[in-house]
Homo-oligomer: A and B are copies of this chain.
Amino acid sequence: MNSLDAFFDPQSVAVIGVSRNPNKVGSIIFRYLTESGLRLYPINPNLDEFMGYKAYPNVKDVPDNIDLAIIAVPAKAVPDVLKDCVEKGIRGVVIISAGFGETGEEGKKLEEKLKETIKGTKTRVIGPNCLGIYVPKKKLDAIFTLRERSPRPPAGDFVYISQSGAAGVAFMDYASHYGVGVSAFVSIGNKMDVSEVELLEYFGEHKDTKAIALYLESIKNGRKFLEVAKEVSKKKPIVVLKGGRTVRGATAAALHTGSLAGSDAVIDGAFKQAGIIRAYDEEEIIDFARVLAYQKPMLGPNVAVVTSGGGYGVIATDYIESPYGDKGVGLKMADLTKETKEKLREVLVPYASVNNPIDLTADVTDEQYDKALEIVNKDPNVDGILCLALFQTPFVTEKLIDIVEKWSKNGEKPMVVVSIGGTYTQEMIKEMEKRRIAVYPSIWRGVKALRVLYERGLYLKRMGVL
């Protein structure tokens, strides 16, 4: 058993710090865990029973193996409770409690004590000062924020690992709203023991995880992290958002997390070497993780744009053809073959443009989208497709989603979809997200996603994987 399986695939869980008050952290987590069907043990010396489960005063009293313990007691009580977990032989412990390294000298000492407690044992710790962990496929919801305020995302294809609690909550909230799924969510807090390195290794092998997103404010052991990332990224894409790339940003990060951020130029080069895709904000990290989880890499820079709005085709073209970073992504508009153009001419209306961008015009039908995507998928000059699926055009129906899904999943070329609009379009976007189509609500975000697929392809080719 991999030591981290205790966290993400446990059979039995103890929650230390359940309380008669249902709004206390331990009680909230226990309540959500009851949905998991796992063997559960509420721990509280003053209770005989909790939510219909037999309660125990101490984990050591539980007459069963415990894989995972969630600790939600005041900071000062944590060292003793953790010692109990070690003695019980529990492999996974999530310490939700705050009041450690993040609060100053006294807290740091307390955190040192925790490190001493697990040293040389089989017990591993996530936290302290974290939100918890969440594995939707297993219905393992050990997150302490109330679902009413902080809804959980559905099951999906990438893991999201967050050093920042606030950003973690906002991520889940955002993801659940847009129906973006995760294989797991891990809040690593002060990362006194389990760090981004081991999580990277673990999710590199995790079968439900196709891409790994890390929101880090500091990197503990840079060299090791990059070594591991280099290996993992040969198999799975890794996206990292690391704050503190400017002097002022790094200072702010140091004040916020108490840990020093590294020089940005060094980090940038090292990330590239290790095949890490870099995200610069809270939106990019999700946008990039999604496209990497849903789509194959681009093997070259040549993009075919299929659109029903001519003007939007122009904007996309400008972004694709402009140098990377300078209002553009440094890709190329594919030169479609003569054959492609002829075939397109046959199936499209006479006033459609069969040059790239391919403008299907506002009179486009679902079938014309279908045909156009079929034809560009066969063009040897095309490395990737940007499909502008606009639902305002009069003859397009919801069937366009089936078409886009078909080519997104079975087409030869990687594809990114952009749908721009209001309430109806938002519904269409959610449906596409459900089907794991890499869809974006703006041209810029869609084009950047293609750039990421291209960078992924470059790395895999450089590594000899592709």
Interface residue ranges, A against B (CB under 8 Å)? 103, 145, 149-151, 163-167, 169-170, 172-178, 215, 217, 241, 243-249, 251-253, 255-257, 280-283, 308-315, 317-322, 325-328, 333, 351, 353, 355-357, 359, 362, 390, 392-394, 420-426, 442-444
Contacts and interface: CB of A to CB of B under 8 A. Distances in A.
Given A312-B166, A390-B166, A282 B244 contact: no
Which of A174, A314, A317, A357 counts the most chain B CB atoms within 10 A? A314
Given A248-B333, A325-B325, A282 B420 contact: yes
Contacts of A164: 309-312
23 contacts: A149-B392, A150-B392, A166-B312, A166-B393, A172-B422, A173-B423, A173-B424, A177-B426, A178-B422, A217-B314, A243-B318, A246-B321, A248-B356, A249-B314, A256-B313, A256-B359, A257-B310, A280-B318, A280-B319, A280-B327, A281-B443, A282-B420, A325-B327
A400 to B, nearest CB: 14
A353 B257 CA distance: 11
Nearest to A351: B103
A169 to B, nearest CB: 5
Nearest to A247: B321
Contacts of A319: 280-281
Contact of A282 (B217, B249, B312, B326): B312
A246 B392 contact: no
Contact of A174 (B163, B318, B420): B420
Contacts of A308: 166
A97 B248 CA distance: 57
A232 to B, nearest CB: 23
A177 B317 contact: no
Nearest to A168: B311
Contact of A423 (B166, B177, B325): B177
Which of A177, A320, A392 counts the most chain B CB atoms within 10 A? A392
Contacts of A311: 163-164, 166-167, 215, 217, 243, 256
Contact of A252 (B249, B325, B355): B355
Contacts of A444: 280-281, 283
A131 to B, nearest CB: 10
A151 B421 CA distance: 10
Given A103-B351, A151-B423, A174-B421, 16 more contacts: A145-B392, A164-B310, A165-B362, A166-B311, A166-B312, A170-B420, A172-B422, A177-B423, A243-B311, A243-B315, A252-B314, A253-B314, A256-B311, A256-B314, A256-B359, A280-B315
B245 A318 contact: yes
A309 B217 contact: no
A407 B245 CA distance: 30
Given A283-B442, A313-B252, A173 B392 contact: yes
Contacts of A245: 318, 322, 327
A151 B425 CA distance: 12
Nearest to A361: B166
A450 to B, nearest CB: 15
Contact of A281 (B170, B353, B442): B442
Given A163-B311, A280-B315, A442-B281, A170 B249 contact: no
A344 to B, nearest CB: 14
Contacts of A317: 243, 246, 248-249, 252
Contacts of A322: 245-246
A80 to B, nearest CB: 25
Nearest to A254: B314
B327 A326 contact: no
B244 A314 contact: yes
A314 B164 CA distance: 11
